[in-house]
Amino acid sequence: MRKFCLVLLFFMITVVTLAQTQVRYAGFSFSGDYTNIPKRYKYTNQLFALKNSDGLSVLEQEFFHMFKQNQDFGNFKLHFSNTATKLAMTFTIHRENVDFEQLGDRVKLIYNLGFSLYILDYDEMRIVQSYPMKVSYLDIIKGSPDSVADSYIVATIREIIKNQVINNLPLLVGKVYIAQSGTLSMKVNEISFSYEVKKLIAVSGWDESNYANLIANQATEALAFDLNVSMLPYAKDYAGQKMALSFSDASVQNFSIPTASYDLAINVDKFYKALHSEKNTESVYIYGAYTSVKIFDSELGDEYWNNEVKYGATKLIVKNQAVDDFANFNEVLLVTIGRSLVEKFIADKELMNDKKGKKGVIRRCQNF
Amino acid sequence: MSKLLKNALIYVFMICIICSLTAITKVKVKGEVETRKKKPSVEEIKQAVNNGKEQAIRKWAATLESQRLQLMNSLIPEILKNLDLYVLEASQLSDGEWINGKWQVNLEVSINDSQIDLLANQRSQSNRQKQQDTYLSFIYVAREVSSVETFDNTVIKTSASSNSSSNRTTNDNDRVEHTKVSGNTDIITTQVGQASSNTQVDQQTDSASTSLKTRDAIDVSGKSFNRDEDTSVAVKVISSASLDKTRSSSSTTQDTNVQQEFQGRTDTNIQTNGNTVTTTVSSNTTNRNMDSSILSKSLSAGSVVKSSEGIAYRVFNPQEIDSKVTEIFNKAGIDVVPAYEANITSEQLAFDFASIGEVSSSTQKEATDLARDAGLDFLAIGLLDLGREEIDPVTGQYKIYARVNGYIMDLRKRFASKICSVGPVQYSGLGENPSVAKINALIEASTKASQDLVDQLRVKMGM
């Protein structure tokens, strides 16, 4: 009897453990309005439409093979069959920007792509976790913006995805965890800008809400990958906290974004530029970004952490060289709410406290 | 040892069951305990967490629809007795703080919805066992727009000519004027302009009789005029002297002076001086001067008749929802009898719904009589009105709205009576094509309406 009980107990524990860690691969998907996919993801959509000899999407297949070879995630294994599990993982594109800049007889192409690895709960149709990542690429070719063929951009995006995404993902999958019972979650709830910063954003040509998205995804990415915090996606753009994902089989699913345990608010207070040193042919400038970051509970109204996070970096500028100040401000801001924010959190003993009954806020949200 | 193993097995088995059934709702609350100590004891922390769990159940129940809340209120004492069964976990969001004699801690409480549903159904079943079997039949009919007929505007134009001439001078910035002549002279001036406008209408006539008639007919409606904000002025001058008559006396001339001034209220003075009719309306800020020595020679007018669109409906019996609705009634412990067993057909109801938008009294009477004769206790009727398809701006999918009205007739007494009703409530369904969106809308609307009806029925029946 004892033997039987032991075997049965072992079997049941194994079943429970496996049931909790099975995640199905749901494929590549596009985020946002279904009808706007050809417009919003003009080039990626064309790339996605490229089929191989078997009639399958080339891009979809590349992601499939990469994940097939890297099935072991932080605390779960990815399954590719029709496993009876409520959890699924999708790799989603949520941003595609290709900007042109004429430089004499050449044209500069600036590629900015944003992706997210979402863990989805199909039973409750909600997004459980989000691991965003962004890639940027600069290209200079002869000609004018009008002379650049779509096919050239599509091919470049394919190379970017292959080199910067598909090749890097195997290094990141080990950092992707499913939140366990008792682990709390965090979400970037609010991104705001001071009046001066708003003016600079407007002058730079950025749309304010798009820029807020970029900042929010940067913070989410840093906290998810570098601090292993269970993050929910920033969703200011989506009505009613709903996100539509369109999958490769042309199906569209609406997922809700649940309320997070903690909310994060980031206010960009100011950008700073000052001359550091000067020589005959070059000058060194300091570019800085000041932000106020708050961890709070939007429902209960409590504030857990409120501090200034800032970062500065020097830039060597050759005299008479045209300088895009906003590009430099943007660069330091991304570091501020990326690396600096993570360092600031780690340095705060209260946030990282791990004593029983006295856990810090960040520690409560970490997946270990 | 074997006892320990047995307990461990039971525990793991319970976890398995809970994992397979769980539908979790997370609720944030503040748990509190009264204490004098700023650092509470372990026992006090437990009390605060328990208090938080209780509050979470109440907060969750408060988000439910009224009927479900009423049902839940009767279950709450039982839920609170076995909190650990219905609350899966309570995670501390903060370390807690002591405020005004109370130690408070922020909690995120996970409530097991499925377990509470199970309790509600068990309660319903046990109540039902005490009572006799309850038989219910339902008929849900739906209609959708099959065609829409729109009509062009009907334009009616009339014209009349006279040898009168009209001359007006105004200082208005914006003005809309309508002049209509149909037999009698009928001048309607509607004006939208700046507050300070001057209008003067001068009319002179040699004919005493005509002038008297003119005086009687002058009507200045300026009551609604607001000198500061609303700058619309309507002046209506109706002259009973027909144009033909005016034309026949070629020597007739009209010279009417109308001076309007609005002063908080509208004062109208009509002064008759010989053959001259003068109307004065005074105001501090608004003056309107209109010189009209004589009416225009040729006047035309018309009207536009706009007809509402004609909508034709197609009715159908939504088979797709039958199993879903049956499941809801069955879960509540009510035996669902197919409508054909009581010889009730949905065609008559559908015909009424398509033609008059509801079920006529005679059809209703016929259906309740048939149901009563068949020994049914309740008859549920649901009417689903589907809107036209549209594109959802968020997902880009097709979206169809379904409006639902439903009620349950109690047939157990001498007279059939409506004991619960729902709607009209609107729900929407999304789909990659209109038919999928339609089915989703029907399922959503019928499920929600049936659930509401069942909850009401449970409350009424003490189930």
For the segment B76-85, the average pLDDT, to the nearest whole number, is: 86
Q: How far is it, in rounded angstroms, from Cα B289 to Cα B169?
A: 7
Give the gap in angstroms from C-alpha B327 to the nearest C-alpha of chain A: 19
Summarised one tens digit per residue, pLDDT across range A253-275 is 788 888 889 999 999 999 999 99
* Chain B neighbors of A239, CB-CB under 8 A: 393-394
ipTM score: 0.74
In three state form, how does the secondary structure of B187-221 look?
EEEEEECCCCCCEEEEEECCCHHHHHHHHHHEEEE
Q: Give the model's confidence band at A347: pLDDT under 50 very low, under 70 low, under 90 confident, else very high.
A: very high
**Contact indicator for B110, B24 with CB cutoff of 8 Å:** yes
**Contact indicator for A178, A75 with CB cutoff of 8 Å:** yes
Mutation target vs A (from B21, B106, B113; most A CBs, 10 A cutoff): B106
Of the candidate ranges A153-167, A313-327, B45-59, B291-305, the one whose mean pLDDT is the lowest: B291-305
Asked whether the bond before B424 is cis by omega within 30 degrees of 0, the reply is: yes
Q: How far is it, in rounded angstroms, from Cα B402 to Cα B405?
A: 10
Q: How far is it, in rounded angstroms, from Cα B365 to Cα B372?
A: 10
Determine which helix (DSSP H) or strand (DSSP E) holds A69, and give its type and residue range. Answer: helix A58-69
The answer to whether A297 contacts B106, with C-beta atoms less than 8 Å apart, is yes
For the segment A30-58, the average pLDDT, to the nearest whole number, is: 83
The pLDDT score that the predictor gives to residue B404 is 87
φ and ψ of A354, to 5 deg? -125, 20
Give the gap in angstroms from C-alpha A213 to the nearest C-alpha of chain B: 17
Q: How far is it, in rounded angstroms, from Cα B420 to Cα B182?
A: 58
Q: Measured between CB atoms, which of B6, B19, B394 is closest to A242?
A: B394
Place of tokens 């209703």: B364
**Contact indicator for B59, B142 with CB cutoff of 8 Å:** no
The answer to whether A9 contacts B12, with C-beta atoms less than 8 Å apart, is yes
Q: Give the model's confidence band at B97: pLDDT under 50 very low, under 70 low, under 90 confident, else very high.
A: confident
Instruction: Give, as one character, the DSSP assignment of residue B284.
Output: S
Residue in A closest to B6 by C-alpha:
A5
φ and ψ of B347, to 5 deg? -60, -45
Please determine, for residue B234, whether its predicted confidence score (pLDDT) is greater than 50. Answer: no
Q: How far is it, in rounded angstroms, from Cα B366 to Cα B344?
A: 9
- Any CB–CB contact under 8 A between A7 and chain B? no
Count of other CB atoms within 10 angstroms of residue A134: 18
Q: At what angle do helices A2-21 and B2-21 cross, to 10 degrees?
A: 30
Please determine, for residue B380, whether its predicted confidence score (pLDDT) is greater than 50. Answer: yes
**Contact indicator for A109, A100 with CB cutoff of 8 Å:** yes
Q: Give the model's confidence band at B162: pLDDT under 50 very low, under 70 low, under 90 confident, else very high.
A: low
B398 Cβ neighbours under 8 A, 6+ residues apart = B389, B390, B391, B392, B430, B431, B432, B433, B434, B436, B437
**Where is pLDDT greater, at B335 or A265?**
A265
The pLDDT score that the predictor gives to residue B209 is 37
The pLDDT score that the predictor gives to residue A247 is 76
* Chain A neighbors of B6, CB-CB under 8 A: 5
Q: Measured between CB atoms, which of B88, B394, B397 is closest to A238?
A: B394
The pLDDT score that the predictor gives to residue B220 is 37
**Contact indicator for B279, B189 with CB cutoff of 8 Å:** no
Summarised one tens digit per residue, pLDDT across range A99-120 is 888 878 888 898 989 899 999 9
* Chain A neighbors of B93, CB-CB under 8 A: 184, 261-262, 297, 300, 302, 361, 364
Of the candidate ranges A171-185, A243-257, A324-338, A354-368, the one whose mean pLDDT is the lowest: A243-257
The answer to whether B89 contacts A239, with C-beta atoms less than 8 Å apart, is no
The pLDDT score that the predictor gives to residue A145 is 85
Residue B44: closest CA among B108, B100, B87, B96: B96
Q: Look at residue A183 and give its three-state secondary structure.
A: coil
The answer to whether A252 contacts B432, with C-beta atoms less than 8 Å apart, is yes
Q: How far is it, in rounded angstroms, from Cα B47 to Cα B66?
A: 30
For the segment B250-265, the average pLDDT, to the nearest whole number, is: 39
For the segment B141-150, the average pLDDT, to the nearest whole number, is: 78
- Any CB–CB contact under 8 A between A124 and chain B? yes
Q: Look at residue B375 and give its three-state secondary structure.
A: coil
The pLDDT score that the predictor gives to residue A346 is 92
Of the candidate ranges A323-332, A335-344, B358-367, B391-400, the one whose mean pLDDT is the lowest: B391-400
Please determine, for residue B266, whether its predicted confidence score (pLDDT) is greater than 60. Answer: no
Determine which helix (DSSP H) or strand (DSSP E) holds B57, and give its type and residue range. Answer: helix B42-62
Of the candidate ranges A284-298, A306-320, B17-31, the one whose mean pLDDT is the lowest: B17-31
**What are A254's strand-pairing partners?**
A244
Summarised one tens digit per residue, pLDDT across range B108-127 is 998 888 888 888 877 766 66
The pLDDT score that the predictor gives to residue A272 is 93
- Residues in chain B whose Cβ is within 8 Å of chain A: 1-2, 5-6, 8-9, 12-13, 15-16, 19, 23-24, 26, 28-30, 45, 88-89, 91-95, 106, 108, 391, 393-397, 430, 432
Please determine, for residue B106, whether its predicted confidence score (pLDDT) is greater than 50. Answer: yes
